[in-house]
Amino acid sequence: MAMIAMGSALGTGLFLGSGKAIGIAGPAVILSFAIGALIAATIALSMGEMASRHPVRGGFGTLAARYLSPFWGYLTRWLYWIVTVCVTGAELVACAAYLAYWFPAVPLWAGILLFAAMIIGINLTSVRSFGIIEFFLSSIKVIAVLMFILVGGLLVVFGLPGQPAAGVGELTADGGFAPMGWAAVWVALSVVMFSFGGIELLSLTAAEAKDPARSIRTAARTTIVRLGFFYVFAIGIVLCLVPWQVASSTGEDVATSPFVMVFDRVGIPGASDITNLLVLIAALSAANANLYAGSRILHSLAADGLAPRLVGVTTRRRVPAVGIVASSVGLLAAAALAFSGVGGVFDYMMSLVVFSVLLVWALILVTYLVFRRRGIEGATFRMPGGSVTAALGLVGLLAVLATVPVSPSMQIAAMVGVPAVLVATALYFTVLRGRVDPAHIDEAFEEAESMR
C-alpha cells in the first residue's frame, strides 16, 4: 500500500529536478520541501486514522459523504477522478517521450498506445497482480533515490579519490541561503506541494487490503517518512553539488537532470541512459497507480448512484473492469490533448488538477475534524495531535492557496477550478441529487466494518 502511494507521489519531478521551485526560492527551497512534507503528513495520517476505522470503497470521498454530506462526497470523488485521468494521460505522453529518447523513429502516438495497453492490462488482471507490479516499479525508484542520496552524500561529506568533499558551501555561495528572501519559501510551496500528490491512494487501497486496519497504520506512517526523507535529502544534495542557478535551469531534458550531473561527476558511464530509464519507470508507475485510483473512484460513485451503474460492475476477481475501461477512454483523450497541444487546452486541464488536488486535501482534513468531533478514533492508531494537527495542516493548505496573488500557476488554477466546481455543483443539485441513495453509503460502511 505504501509503495502504491509512492508510485504516484515519487514521480518524474524529482528525477528531472525541481528546477521551477529552486528558481523561486534558491537553496531555501529545502525548507519549502520540509514544510510541504509536514503538511502532507497531516493529510496522510488523518486519512490513515479514518481508513483504519472505515476501510470503505471510495476512500476519502465516501468518508466525506458520510461525515460532511453526500454533495461533498460527490464533488470530492468526481474532481479526483478528473485528476487521475489528466495525470495518467500526461504520464503516458511522458513515457512515450522517454521511449523516443532511445528509439526516435517510434512515433509518440505509438508509444502512448503501447504504454496505455500495458497499464490497462495490468489493472484488468487482478488487484493482486497490480499490487505486485506497482511494488516492483516503485521499488526501482526507491532504490535509485537511495543510491543517489548515498552517492551524493559521499560526495558532499567525504569526496572521492581525486575529488575533495563538496561540503555545504554551495548553499550560501550565490546570494546566501535565501537569495530571493524568506517570503519565497512560502511562494515555492505552490509548486512544491504537488510533489506529494498521490498520498491519497492510501485511503483508496484500504478497501482492498487483506488486513486493512493493520496495513493502513504501517503504510500511512512509512509513506510520509519516506517521501519527506527522499525529497528533502535529494534536493539538499543536489543544491550542495550543483549551483542553485544551474539547478533551476534544468527542464524536461534528461541530459540536464541533476541525477545525470551527479552520476557524471562520479564517473558512472551512461548516466543519461540510466536516468532516462528511471524517469520512464517513474512515469509508468505513476500512470499505473492513477488508473487504479480512477477506476475505484468510479466504482464508488456508481454504488452511490452518482455515476452510471455500469461502471460499478466487477469481474469474478472483484476488478471494476468497466470503470477501468471508462477511465482509460478519458486518459487517452487527455493524452491526445497533451500530444496535440490544441489551443493550450491541456494546460488548463492540468491547472484544474492543481485546484482539485488542493480542494480534495482540504476536504480530507475537514472530514477528519468532523470525524474526531463526533468522538470517533482510529481502530489501530491515532494521528499525533489529533484535531490540532489536522487544523494546522488545513492552515498550511490555505497558505498555499493564498499564493494566488503572486503565483501565475495558482492564478490559472483558480481561474479554471472555480468555474469547474460551480458547474459540478449545479449539475448535482439539478440532476443528481435525487439519485443519491444514503442506504448505499451505509452499506459501504457496514461492509468495511466487517472487513476491519
C-alpha cell at 386: 489529533
- The answer to whether residues 355 and 416 touch, using CB atoms and an 8 Å cutoff, is yes
How distant, in Å, are the alpha carbons of 89, 159, 350, 368 from that of 335? 4, 44, 12, 35
Range in 133-137, 183-187, 224-228, 323-327 the model is least confident about: 224-228
pLDDT per position as a tens digit, 159-191: 877 778 888 888 888 888 998 989 999 988 888
Size of the chain in residues: 452
C-alpha cell at 423: 458547474
Q: What region, left, alpha or beta, does residue 43 occupy, with left being phi > 0 and alpha being psi -120 to 50 degrees? A: alpha
CA dist., res. 287 & res. 289, Å (int): 6
Q: Is the pLDDT of residue 365 over 90?
A: yes
pLDDT of residue 451: 59
Q: What are phi and psi of 57, to 5 degrees?
A: -65, 140
Angle between helices 321-340 and 345-373 (to 10 degrees): 140
Please enumerate in sequence order all residues whose Cβ is within 8 A of that of 305, keeping only pairs 6 or more positions apart, or say none.
432, 435, 436, 437, 440
What ranges do the domains of the chain cover?
Answer: 2-451
Coil, strand, or helix at residue 197? coil
Burial class (CB in 10 A: 0-12, 13-18, 19+), 169: exposed
Q: Which residues pair with 375 in a beta bridge?
A: none
pLDDT of residue 256: 64
pLDDT per position as a tens digit, 143-154: 888 888 888 888
Q: 248 versus 425: which is more confidently predicted?
A: 425
Question: pTM for this structure?
Answer: 0.88
- The answer to whether residues 9 and 196 touch, using CB atoms and an 8 Å cutoff, is yes
pLDDT of residue 13: 63
Fold annotation for 2-451: Amino acid/polyamine transporter I (1.20.1740)
- Percent of the chain predicted with pLDDT > 90: 13
pLDDT of residue 332: 81
pLDDT of residue 360: 92
